Amino acid sequence: MIQDDGRVKIADFGIAKVAWAKTMTETGMVMGSPYYMAPEQLKGEPVTGRTDQFALAGVAYTVLTGKKPFDADTVASLFNKILHQDPPPVQALNPTLGTEVEQVLRKAMAKDPASRYETCTDFVDALKAARKRGAQPAPPPPPKRRRPGWLPLASIAACLLVLVALTAFFLLKSHQAAQAEMAYWDSIKGSKDAALFETYLKEFPGGRFAALARAQMAALKAPKVNPNDGQRYAWIPPGTFRMGCSPGDNQCVDDEKPPHAVTIANGFWMGQTEVTVGAFRRFAQATGRSMSPVGGKKKVAKKKGDFAQATGKSVPPAPSLPEDQNLPVVNVTWDDAVGYCQWAGGRLPTEAEWEYAARAGTTGPYYGDLNAIAWYDVNSGAQRHPVAQKHQTRLGSTTC
């Protein structure tokens, strides 16, 4: 920057000293100017002159408005804004700026490099023209004595400074991109949320921690044993499916119509099998419920008869708890099912979640070969069978 008296000053926008919040500081790291990094830099993609244009437009935005185009308290939040959000309109921060200035800056800071100006010179020319058309009139500055030849020399000096800065910027690019990835990784590496590692792989598909991210994500999503009920649970990833009647389903009922697309926005854990007798017995003992008909069948039947006679309502039979711990429990009331899920640390799945997990990407009426995935009236011999004897679906849930 050249002052009126001819002295040259270096105006720093963050490279020499970054006043980051404590949560954004990484010991021993020099992050450069992350506030002005282009999306392609953060993704580790090839950089060009249009990457410099994004940074130059960000600096111009700061000079014209007094605010950074993107700002946040954490590395992850800052990178998310740069990748997915637009900066606030310049008119909201500086009412003297016209809409043309906003359009020029927005084009120069487009997320897609191909949507920016062809060169930085084109951007500067467009910004100058927009400022000239939208500038407010100001009194002319008082004339100053200048020695002959000063202005051309100052212009040359300024150009040299710009060239030096651009050269340094190009040298720092690859280093900054690597450090940006490192900062992002450090912010999530200890997480127990598999979705954060999925986000990392989307932003840095060829990143240096990609293999580790996949391994940690797989470990977090591997089937787990719930210590409360001893049952195995599988991770069901988010996705979209078509819920309701399937093509060719001649047993479709009105409740399944019309078929429609449903998006499961968040992944969830689901039991790999039906609740076993053993698990339900642990629940009954832990909560003080008297679920077993053993030794008390007549008393239970009498209570149900009294209730039915007094209210005129039918009562479902009590849960059957035979000796085989691996058989599925049956005849469970809604209240007991809700109570069991709360005791186990979860909840009942919604109808959409259950169908999504059961379908596992299939579109047929039976979600697969019935004989391979389920016991039913044709192949069961009218009796219950131990759980986990049939094939599980592709999503890893809903076995019989």
Enter the pTM of the model.
0.45
Degrees, nearest 5: CA angle 281-230-338: 60
Q: How many other CB atoms are found less than 10 A from the CB of residue 96?
A: 12
Can you give the pLDDT at residue 211?
Answer: 87
| pLDDT confidence of residue 119 | 93
CA torsion angle for 42, 45, 49, 55 (degrees, to 10)? -10
Query: Computed from CA positions of residues 41, 46, 50, 56, in that sequence, does the dihedral angle turn out positive or negative?
Result: positive
Separation between Cα atoms, residue 239 and residue 268, nearest integer Å:
11
Give the whole-angstrom CA distance, residue 184 versus residue 197: 10
Nearest to 182 by CA among 21, 32, 36: 32
- CA dist 248 and 265 (Å) reads 28
- pLDDT of 299 reads 41
Q: What is the pLDDT along the chain (400 residues), one digit of tens a residue?
A: 888 888 888 776 554 444 444 444 443 333 446 788 899 988 888 889 999 999 999 999 999 999 999 988 887 788 889 999 999 999 889 988 888 999 999 999 999 999 999 999 999 999 999 988 865 544 556 666 555 545 566 666 666 677 667 666 665 666 777 888 888 888 888 887 788 888 899 888 888 898 888 888 888 878 889 999 999 998 888 889 999 998 888 888 898 999 999 999 888 889 989 999 999 999 999 998 876 543 334 344 444 455 555 556 555 555 545 668 899 998 888 999 999 999 999 999 999 999 998 888 888 877 778 888 888 888 988 888 999 888 766 554 444 4
Q: Would you state the pLDDT for residue 1?
A: 80
Domains and their CATH numbers in the chain: 22-136+149-188 (1.10.510.10), 232-373 (3.90.1580.10)
Residue corresponding to tokens 């606030």:
88
- State residue 247's pLDDT score: 84
The per-residue pLDDT for 26 is 41
What is the residue whose two structure tokens read 């609740």?
275
Closest CA to 374 of 343, 398, 345: 398
Answer positive or negative: Cα dihedral of 250, 255, 256, 258: positive
SS3 assignment for the chain: CECCCCCECCCCCCCCCCCCCHHHCCCCCCCCCHHHCCHHHHCCCCCCHHHHHHHHHHHHHHHHHCCCCCCCCCHHHHHHHHHHCCCCCHHHHCCCCCHHHHHHHHHHCCCCHHHCCCCHHHHHHHHHHHHHHHCCCCCCCCCCCCCCCHHHHHHHHHHHHHHHHHHHHHHHHHHHHHHHHHHHHHHHCCCCCHHHHHHHHHHCCCCCCHHHHHHHHHHHHCCEECCCCCCEEEEECCEEEEECCCCCCCCCCHHHCCCEEEEECCCEEEECCCCEHHHHHHHHHHHCCCCCCCCCHHHHHHHHHHHHHHHCCCCCCCCECCCCCCCECECCCHHHHHHHHHHHCCCCCCHHHHHHHHHCCCCCCCCCCHHHHCCCCCCCCCCCCCCCCCCCCCCCCCCC
Instruction: Specify the pLDDT at position 171.
Output: 58
Closest CA to 134 of 105, 106, 98, 99: 98
